[in-house]
Structure 1
């Protein structure tokens, strides 16, 4: 039996159209009318595929590629084999991503698993909910009282939208998502299994044990935010949890109550951000990093993967390690410890 193709090829793009789309120019082998219909890695691309090259370590793959076109930066044009067309772009990876979205638009955001449009008769929708024309609500989705959902939004099978939530236009609420106590802007994507608006981890210790603190805040998710599968965002305790415009959050990220994340941040898988932390705009946090509560990470800061942040990070800083500190300082310490370990090993060998 033939394997299924989940994202079938469309009509494709001419190389001139690719160049125009990404703001690039055609290379020496100008074949403006040549058509590409797919995307692939350098070593796997065929004559109908677009690929890209942005790192010299893949030069051997580039030399052997059979791609229909390679997107490449000007500094790497000389490495493209003769006879292979190229599109020269300022940033090859970004340009390739742009072209990929045009070639496979259905892969850019979750689509209806059932393939339906409109409201399924098997959805559970409260009579007081307001749903604009053009929204899709799939079977077994639950939409609570006084919810408002904008046109073009998909609420996939098994998703739950709690009472009084607001969901903007052209959003994608994936299968099995739960969203409660939340206000979502436009073009928000919640991948399957995301949990939004549950109460945070708040307890006070007393003579008789732990006493639960109520959490009465909301989650506010601004326009163009994307949140990966099985990530969780707790509602605020006595103020709101906020995710800023354009921020992208990977799979399996935990964001605690009262956290405020700025605009256009990138937060990679398995990051945990404790309550009442403030993250500025354009911050990047590497995977498996832990951030303690009540700290501030300044605008433009970058945190290396597998770090532990337990204090404020200045704007524009690059920190890493456990505990996190400036990257140069961290590297010096790691190098020093490595050198000391080698010396100790050498001395032990000499004693023997």
Structure 2
């Protein structure tokens, strides 16, 4: 349930407006002017709320919901109770997200704690930094020499923007972030505690000790990227670390030096990517996946959670396990192992 103190509703919507936003059509006889005053989960929704359902696990919750309006796929439409209007959509979750964005725009990205544009008292902006009109800098933030920040961008409290860093327009830099040796595109969301551009883990190893290798590359983050809290992205060693357009990175991810992540990838929490590995476009990595260095994961490939990747993965492949292998082989191997263990235990019992 939404809390009006934290996420106040920015606008009111009626059934007709919700249908237009979601790209669906209201059933015949439904009043398009009926108001929707909030959004909630199926089990919490009331007559003034919109909810959604797109997973068979929640069919009982759907049958019991009191929501005024519910976005559902066609296969669940008949399960919507009589007091709820079914709004059929081929992608209910996406449609619900569009409605939520209209209701709660402040929840889309970290905003200003101070609540107003401009440089707040207690912030420090170096005299050589360049801020376009409409930049917000919260108390305690530091903008270093030569940094450039585009209009509409919010720098939250205690973020540190290093020398010569470039940040595009309509970005959100969360509280306590540190950015150095980085070029950031437009509409980038960086959640609190993220570290970008620190030197990569590079040492020339020898029996007499390990010599630190200067890391002289940058981090390039393209437009519409989102980076979760406490993620670390190292700058390149001799070339750039790159995060491609539209990629979404969860919390607590480690990306090593010289890594290249393609466009519209999804990287779930606690993934670790070693240096000089390349992810092509639309790659998906499940939680806690580990990738060795100098690998290539092909376009559209998906890797199951907790897998260990030690070699290249072809385009479009589905991999899982440790070491990671094609998903079908992994499933067969797991089933065979389970069968062998069960049969061995059965033999001992019979003996």
Give the TM-score of the pair, scaled to structure 1: 0.97
User: 1:334: Cα distance to partner?
Assistant: 0.4
* Aligned residue runs from structure 1 range 229-268, under 5 A: 229-268=229-268
Show the counterpart of 1:217.
217
Offset of residue 49 of structure 1: 1.1
3-state DSSP of counterpart to 2:299: coil
**Shift of residue 57, structure 1, vs aligned partner:** 1.9
Which residue is 1:273 aligned to?
A: 273
Equivalent residue, structure 1, for 2:314: 314
Aligned twin of 2:178: 178
RMSD (Å) for aligned C-alpha atoms: 1.2
Alpha-carbon distance in structure 1 between the residues aligned to 2:124 and 2:147: 12
C-alpha distance in structure 2 between counterparts of 1:247 and 1:202, whole Å: 26
Give yes or no for the alignment of 1:92 onto 2:92: yes
Q: 1:100, CA displacement in angstroms?
A: 0.9
Asked whether the 8 Å contact 2:123–2:140 carries over to 1, the reply is yes
Q: Do structure 1's residue 66 and structure 2's residue 89 form an aligned pair? A: no
1:335-346 equivalences in 2 (<5 Å): 335-346=335-346
Matched position secondary structure for 2:245: coil
1:132, 1:335 → 2: CA distance? 60
| Aligned counterparts of 1:116 and 1:151: Cα–Cα separation in 2 | 14
Shift of 1:4: 7.0
TM-aligned CA deviation for residue 33 of structure 1: 1.4
CA drift of 1:195 comes to 0.2
Mapped contact 2:66–2:83 kept (Cα < 8 A): no
- Secondary structure at the residue paired with 2:50? strand
Q: Which residue of 1 aligns with 2:349?
A: 349
The whole-number CA distance in structure 1 between the counterparts of 2:4 and 2:63 is: 31
> How does 1:297-336 map onto structure 2 within 5 Å?
297-336=297-336
Alpha-carbon separation, structure 2, partners of 1:300 and 1:13 = 37
Say whether residues 1:168 and 2:168 are aligned partners: yes
Once the two structures are superposed, residues 196-249 of structure 1 have per-residue CA deviations (whole angstroms, 9 ceiling, x without a partner) of 000011112113111111100000000000000000000000000000000000
Taking a change above 3 Å as real, the CA distance of residues 136 and 74 of structure 1, as seen in their structure-2 partners, is same
Provide structure 2 residue ranges, at least 5 long, that are not aligned to the other structure: none
Counterpart residue number, 2:113 = 113
CA distance in 1, matches of 2:12, 2:311: 50
Check conservation: 2:241, 2:260, Cα contact below 8 A: yes
Q: Deviation at 1:12?
A: 2.2
* Count of residue pairs the alignment pairs up: 349
TM-superposed deviation, 1:115? 1.4
Does the aligned pair in 1 maintain the 2:68–2:83 contact within 8 Å? no
Deviations along 1:70-120, one digit per CA (max 9) or x if unpaired, are 001112211111231121111111111111111111111111112132111
Question: 1:28: how far off?
Answer: 5.5
- Gapped runs of 5+ residues in structure 1? none
Moved more, 165-174 or 52-61: 52-61
The alpha carbon displacement at 1:65 in A equals 0.3
Whole-angstrom CA distance in 1 between matches of 2:31 and 2:212: 68
Does the 8 Å contact 1:53/1:70 carry over to 2? yes
Q: Whole-Å Cα distance in 2 between the matches of residues 195 and 234 of structure 1? A: 8
- Give every structure 1 segment of 4 or more consecutive aligned residues whose post-TM-superposition deviation is greater than 3 Å: none
TM-score when scaled to structure 2? 0.97
